[in-house]
């Protein structure tokens, strides 16, 4: 059963084409890596799935429906920037999520905050960039969503935290949910992925399972990526 | 969900708005005390300077509340729906109508509350200064009551509706302007200013047409033919006011849907 479907999905910013006729289907219960160099269209694809952008042509469907408040209820999105109001404390941010998302698990969020040594009363303004990213990831993964869209979730954190975050992603997603992770740090995420999508200049170059890549190409995803996108 | 959005908006805007109101109330008390206790103090020059300064500060704080709250509300809209916080707010499982209405309702409540608070602060200053006594307030209330009774109820309703519609218009004008100019990648501030100027010019044009309409209304009425000149004039004025109020609300609806349409169909958080 597919949770995300793109049909001839095209997005242009003025004359520049960010995505060109993408056809893509993601099944439930998979952890998928959305991989590609800067400007390949990864963030655009994720924003289209969240309804933050509208397609120039084609369509994108979440659980068979166009992005809307109804699909937002089943999608948990982690943007690549700090989006929480800086005046909020971690506790207020949890209150906010609990107010608007019926699937928010407060106990899970509190447990993760404790493990990552984040104080509930500390304001986001007083947190470092890494701490803010951790908090946003905690809030995103504390939802029991059907589709997680994670845009560069490990970009700004140290390797130890990176490992913890990846463990958190695996531990917190349920088997009927799909996780789409956009990242450049392929070697770090490779071991958690079921599938990989290579995007280049707005087009899908490759969409394979990790096992198929290893068996057929005889390479790791990281090696294949470096070969395909060599400058 | 609308209630939760409003709660969040109150929390976000109250952080800056409430201290501003608090400062105004405090300055009202200080100005009142300055007037009261400096009366019998040293020399008249010192008394005048301190008394005048405190009154000036109080007047400035009234201006700061009126303008500051409007700026806080507009900034909240921009940051919350068109800036980085938009990545949080616009993926919530709520419709664009609810997002927009929550901001508009909270803005109107702030305008009503701050207007009342400004009036109460002036009364507070007067009471603290000792220049005005409780009996004076009773007289004031009585005068207001009599004044309201003297005015036709319809006119009171018109004043109230016109004020609310006008404040909504001002708010929605800026909402629409911000949302439209979000679609430009460069010179957004310039387009913001241009948008407001163009809209005001259009409004002037419409109000000019209104004046012509009013003139014909008064002429077409039995103004010169009727026997009861005052009653005929009042009836024409009330009719004309209803048209104006309807126009303001029509503009409100247009601006609302313009903003909604752009937020819904051209989200453009690039």
Question: What average pLDDT is seen over chain A?
Answer: 87
pLDDT in tens, B97-147: 999 999 999 999 999 999 999 989 988 888 887 766 666 777 777 777 777
* Per-residue model confidence (pLDDT) at position B230: 65
| Torsion, CA B193, CA B194, CA B196, CA B200, rounded to 10 | 130
Answer yes or no: is pLDDT of B221 > 70.
no
Contacts of B113 (CB under 8 A, 6+ apart): none
Answer yes or no: is pLDDT of B37 > 60.
yes
Beta bridge partners of A181: A33, A150
Is ipTM beyond 0.95? no
* Per-residue model confidence (pLDDT) at position B159: 85
Contacts of A133 in chain B (CB under 8 A): none
Question: Quick check: helix, strand or coil at residue A78?
Answer: strand
Question: What average pLDDT is seen over chain B?
Answer: 82
- Reported confidence tier of residue A6, pLDDT bands at 50, 70, 90: very high
pLDDT in tens, B149-161: 666 677 778 888 9
Answer yes or no: is pLDDT of B40 > 70.
no
- What's the angle, vertex CA A35, arms to CA A33 and CA A41, rounded to 5? 120
Contacts of A51 in chain B (CB under 8 A): 90-91, 267
* Per-residue model confidence (pLDDT) at position B7: 93
C-alpha span between B84 and B86 (Å, rounded): 5
C-alpha span between A40 and A21 (Å, rounded): 13
Answer yes or no: is pLDDT of B218 > 70.
no
Buried b / exposed e over A28-42, threshold 16 CB at 10 Å, is eebbbbbbbeeebbb
Answer yes or no: is pLDDT of B207 > 90.
no
- Reported confidence tier of residue A40, pLDDT bands at 50, 70, 90: confident
Q: Which of A85, A94, A146, A150 to mutate to probe the B interface, most B CBs <10 Å?
A: A85
B93–A69 C-beta distance less than 8 A: yes
A37-60 mean pLDDT: 90
Helix axis angle, A159-172 relative to A129-141, nearest 10°? Answer: 10
Alpha carbon A177 to its chain's center: 12
């Amino acid at each position: 059963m597919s949770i995300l479907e793109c049909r001839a999905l095209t997005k242009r910013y003025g004359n520049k084409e960010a995505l060109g006729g993408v056809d893509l289907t993601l099944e439930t219960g998979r952890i998928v890596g959305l991989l590609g160099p800067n400007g390949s269209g990864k963030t655009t694809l994720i924003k289209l799935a969240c309804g933050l952008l509208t397609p120039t042509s084609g369509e994108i469907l979440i659980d068979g429906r166009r992005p809307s408040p109804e699909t937002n209820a089943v999608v948990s999105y982690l943007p690549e920037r700090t989006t929480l109001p800086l005046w909020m404390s971690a506790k207020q941010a949890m209150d906010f999520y609990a107010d608007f998302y019926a699937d928010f698990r407060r106990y899970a969020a509190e447990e993760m905050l404790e493990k990552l040594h984040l104080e509930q009363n500390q304001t986001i303004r007083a947190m470092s960039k890494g701490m803010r990213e951790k908090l946003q990831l905690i809030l995103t993964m504390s939802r029991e969503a059907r589709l997680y869209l994670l845009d560069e979730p490990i970009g700004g954190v140290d390797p130890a935290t990176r490992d913890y975050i990846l463990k958190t992603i695996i531990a917190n997603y349920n088997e009927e949910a799909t996780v789409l992770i956009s990242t450049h740090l392929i070697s770090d995420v490779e071991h958690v992925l079921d599938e990989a999508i290579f995007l280049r200049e707005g087009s899908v170059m490759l969409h394979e399972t990790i096992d198929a890549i290893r068996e057929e190409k005889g390479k790791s995803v990281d090696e294949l990526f470096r070969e395909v996108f060599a400058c | 969900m609308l209630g939760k959005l409003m709660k969040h908006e109150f929390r976000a805007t109250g952080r800056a708005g409430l201290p501003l109101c608090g400062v105004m109330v405090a300055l009202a008390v200080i100005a009142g005390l300055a007037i009261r206790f400096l009366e019998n103090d040293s020399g008249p020059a010192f008394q005048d300077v301190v008394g005048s300064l405190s009154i000036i500060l109080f007047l400035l704080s009234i201006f700061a509340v009126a303008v500051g709250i409007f700026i806080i509300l507009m900034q909240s809209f921009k940051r919350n729906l068109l800036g980085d916080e938009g990545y949080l707010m616009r993926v919530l499982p709520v419709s664009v109508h609810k997002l927009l209405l929550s901001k508009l309702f909270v803005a109107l409540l702030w305008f009503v509350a701050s207007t009342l608070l400004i009036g109460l602060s002036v009364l507070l200053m007067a009471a603290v200064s000792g220049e005005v006594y409780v009996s004076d307030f009773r007289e004031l209330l009585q005068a207001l009551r009599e004044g309201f009774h003297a005015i036709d109820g319809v006119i009171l309703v018109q004043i109230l509706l016109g004020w609310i519609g006008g404040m909504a218009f001002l708010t929605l004008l800026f909402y629409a302007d911000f949302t439209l100019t979000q679609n430009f990648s460069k010179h957004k501030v310039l387009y913001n200013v241009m948008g407001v100027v163009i809209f005001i010019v259009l409004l002037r044009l419409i109000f000019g047409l209104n004046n012509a309409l009013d003139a014909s209304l008064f002429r077409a009425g039995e103004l010169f033919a009727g026997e009861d000149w005052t009653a005929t004039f009042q009836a024409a004025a009330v009719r004309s006011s209803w048209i104006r109020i309807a126009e303001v609300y029509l503009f409100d609806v247009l601006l609302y849907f313009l903003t909604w349409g752009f937020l819904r169909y051209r989200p453009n958080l690039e």
